[in-house]
């Protein structure tokens, strides 16, 4: 933006580029809807009312709101590259995201962050980033990289970096780990907010976490938890993703006193939800349907995240801000009919407009170093009772259950009659195929096996199955693709989805990925899986920073104790 040009146009001494007339303007500052015209110059709002314009567009009495902002998202979880992600969410009215690339950073380190930054160039939306704070998430797993404060420092000068991303290592904050303290100090020195990630943290430990300057949290699953954090000055990101949906539980907390400190985020959304439901717009519609004032719902998806992240040129329709706009007809059912990015129409009626740039994908190095011949999923029966991970539908949290072991020929085996399925996490980085083994209940598998290289956060290969041979075949199929999903029955691959970009993302259109994912889910359900998206749930069973019990390539992790615990009790 040339400041002199905007000022000259704003005072009416030069024509604007575009005048949007007969608009019902959603003002997120006053909470009013104002009838009028919007003047745009050089992609920014110049003013309101009658202006001489190169082009005039009649909005026809429809509403115009600021473009929506997702306050916390992992683009990698869409399983598509940045270009395809943008092509999917822009027609939904999303004109900015704050993405945390810690998925690809765990695989490729600084090269992964650089890949995402380069991929963001030329997109029809603002792809902003928060720097991953926990790579790896813990020392209880093998990751593809380790990023210390010195590795992050060069990125803070990049204009797309707006925050330090979710600090999952809350014990490191509470007990003042040196590297964690260095990362927080780095963010402070660059005046960037520090995002939190502290499910269930309360009392004095939460006080210590907040005292460190942690300013947000997207992991609240209970209203009481959200309120406790809000009262300490922590902004709440209300999450509605694919695996974790927290709006219903947190809805009672949203009121006239708290709404200014709350915002929407998707965190992780799979292609089928993006295409079938939408993005931030879907959360806004759900909140309004539950009785939330539409302007409050819009504010939580625009000005609130903009203010939190210090994004001064977006989030509102006001002079000097980018003309990132969403046009819709019904406040009770907000659906983007037109989307403008920097004053240029980029989407209409759910589709990206012809001629809107689609940058080519950026190349990434291979990241799969696994020889399937070394795989061994046998578990000698070393006791009568075992710790079992309880998977919970639509949640990333799990429970720990103590159950009787099923033994055969001296080995602990799966017991499908009790829904106790063997699972394993295999190191994909070192070539050693280190394997952590355990059991899970709640997936519902009756036979076969399913495997994935999307296993948060280190993204080793995770597999669950009723048969060791099928588990080996599923892992081998994933490794051969360079990453992805596979479902196997009796040694035969029923379905697969290649994710050649770091084992996390496809280079295909999102519609193709959705079709492949539908095939994966159908195959998993044919094996007995009962969850709506078993692969999303599977991927979080390896995340050792979300309670209660998780599995990494180094073994079972008791998240509350933050230590590896034996399988047998």
Q: d(Cα 220, Cα 72) in Å, to the nearest integer?
A: 14
Q: d(Cα 301, Cα 505) in Å, to the nearest integer?
A: 26
Whether 242 has a pLDDT exceeding 90, the answer reads no
What confidence category does residue 82 fall into, taking pLDDT thresholds of 50, 70 and 90? very high
Distance from the first to the final alpha carbon of the chain:
64
Q: Residue 538 in contact with residue 293, Cβ under 8 Å?
A: no
Q: d(Cα 92, Cα 347) in Å, to the nearest integer?
A: 9
pLDDT of residue 357: 78
pLDDT of residue 477: 97
Rg (CA), the chain: 24
Q: d(Cα 333, Cα 350) in Å, to the nearest integer?
A: 15
Residue 461 in 3-state DSSP? strand
pLDDT of residue 213: 98
Q: d(Cα 13, Cα 399) in Å, to the nearest integer?
A: 66
Which letter, b or e, does each residue of 460-478 get, where b requires 16 or more Cβ atoms within 10 Å of its Cβ? bbbbbbbbbebbbbbbbbb
What confidence category does residue 363 fall into, taking pLDDT thresholds of 50, 70 and 90? confident
Whether 317 has a pLDDT exceeding 90, the answer reads yes
pLDDT of residue 487: 98
CA nearest to 235, candidates 222, 263, 216, 218: 216
Q: d(Cα 259, Cα 501) in Å, to the nearest integer?
A: 38
HSE of 208, CA atoms in CB hemisphere, 13 A: 15
pLDDT of residue 549: 97
Residue appearing with tokens 């780990």: 177
What's CA 522's distance to the chain center, in Å?
24
Share of the chain above pLDDT 70, in %: 100
How buried is 213 (Cβ within 10 angstroms: 0-12 exposed, 13-18 middle, 19+ buried)?
Answer: middle
pTM comes to 0.92
Compute the average pLDDT of residues 271-283: 96
Whether 396 has a pLDDT exceeding 90, the answer reads no
Residue 467 in 3-state DSSP? coil
What's CA 110's distance to the chain center, in Å?
19
Give the strand pairing for 53-58 and 351-352. Answer: unpaired
The three-state DSSP-derived secondary structure of 49-84 is CCCCEEEEEECCCCEEEECEEEEEECHHHHCECHHH
Whether 359 has a pLDDT exceeding 80, the answer reads yes
Token digits of residue 489? 């029955």
Give the strand pairing for 94-99 and 68-73. Answer: parallel
Counting every residue, how long is the chain? 569
Q: d(Cα 423, Cα 389) in Å, to the nearest integer?
A: 10
List domains and CATH numbers for the chain. Answer: 67-308 (3.20.20.140), 372-564 (no CATH)
For residue range 92-150, list pLDDT tens digits in order. 999 999 999 999 999 999 999 999 999 999 999 999 999 999 999 888 999 999 999 99
pLDDT of residue 80: 95
Q: d(Cα 515, Cα 233) in Å, to the nearest integer?
A: 43
CA nearest to 384, candidates 142, 567, 179, 139: 567
pLDDT of residue 491: 96
CA nearest to 240, candidates 270, 261, 214: 270
Q: d(Cα 69, Cα 313) in Å, to the nearest integer?
A: 12
pLDDT of residue 48: 98
Whether 394 has a pLDDT exceeding 80, the answer reads no
């Amino acid at each position: 933006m040339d400041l002199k040009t905007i000022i000259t146009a704003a005072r009416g001494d030069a024509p604007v580029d575009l005048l949007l007339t007969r608009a019902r303007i959603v003002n997120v500052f006053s909470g009013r809807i104002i009838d009028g015209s919007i003047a745009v110059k050089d992609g920014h709002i110049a003013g309101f009312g009658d202006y001489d314009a190169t082009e005039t567009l009649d909005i026809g009495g429809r509403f115009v709101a600021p473009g929506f902002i997702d306050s916390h998202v992992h683009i990698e979880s869409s399983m598509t590259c940045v270009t395809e992600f943008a092509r999917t969410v822009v027609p939904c009215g999303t004109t900015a995201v704050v993405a945390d690339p810690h998925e690809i950073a765990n695989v490729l380190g600084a090269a992964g962050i650089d890949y995402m930054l380069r991929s963001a160039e030329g997109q029809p939306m603002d792809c902003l980033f928060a720097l991953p704070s926990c790579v790896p998430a813990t020392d209880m797993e093998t990751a593809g990289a380790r990023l210390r404060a010195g590795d992050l420092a060069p990125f803070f000068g990049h204009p797309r970096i707006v925050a330090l991303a979710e600090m999952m290592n809350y014990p490191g904050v509470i007990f003042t780990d040196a590297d964690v303290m260095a990362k927080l100090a780095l963010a402070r020195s660059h005046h960037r907010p520090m995002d939190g990630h502290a499910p269930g943290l309360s009392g004095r430990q939460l006080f210590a976490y907040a005292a460190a300057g942690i300013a947000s949290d997207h992991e609240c699953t209970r209203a009481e938890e959200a309120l406790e954090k809000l009262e300490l000055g922590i902004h709440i990101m209300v999450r509605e993703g694919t695996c974790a949906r927290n709006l219903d539980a947190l809805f009672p907390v949203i009121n006239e006193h708290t709404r200014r400190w709350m915002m929407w985020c998707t965190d992780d959304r799979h292609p089928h939800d993006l295409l079938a439901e939408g993005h931030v717009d879907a959360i806004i519609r759900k909140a309004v349907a539950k009785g939330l004032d539409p302007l409050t719902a819009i504010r939580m998806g625009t000005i609130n995240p903009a203010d939190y992240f210090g994004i001064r040129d977006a989030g509102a329709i006001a002079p000097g801000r980018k003309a990132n706009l969403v046009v819709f007809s019904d406040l009770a059912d907000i659906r983007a009919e037109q989307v403008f990015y920097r004053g240029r129409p980029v989407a209409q009626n759910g589709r990206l407009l012809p001629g809107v740039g689609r940058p080519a994908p950026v190349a990434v190095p291979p990241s799969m170093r696994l020889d399937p011949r070394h795989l061994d999923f046998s578990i000698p029966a070393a006791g009568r009772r075992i710790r079992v991970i309880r998977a919970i539908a639509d949640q990333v949290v799990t429970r720990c259950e103590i159950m009787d072991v099923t033994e055969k020929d001296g080995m602990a085996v799966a017991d499908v009659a009790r829904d106790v399925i063997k699972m394993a996490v295999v190191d994909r980085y070192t070539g050693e195929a280190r394997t952590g083994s355990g059991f899970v209940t709640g997936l519902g598998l009756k036979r076969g096996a399913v495997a994935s290289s999307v296993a948060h956060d280190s993204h080793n290969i995770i597999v669950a199955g009723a048969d060791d041979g099928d588990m080996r075949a599923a892992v081998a199929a994933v490794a051969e693709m360079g990453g992805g999903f596979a479902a196997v029955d009796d040694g035969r691959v029923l379905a697969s989805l290649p994710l050649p970009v770091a084992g996390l993302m496809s280079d295909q259109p999102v519609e193709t990925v959705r079709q492949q994912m539908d095939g994966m889910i159908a195959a998993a359900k044919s094996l007995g899986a009962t969850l709506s998206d078993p692969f999303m749930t599977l991927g979080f069973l390896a995340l050792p920073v979300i309670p209660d019990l998780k599995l990494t390539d180094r073994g079972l992790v008791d998240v509350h104790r933050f230590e590896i615990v034996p399988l047998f009790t």
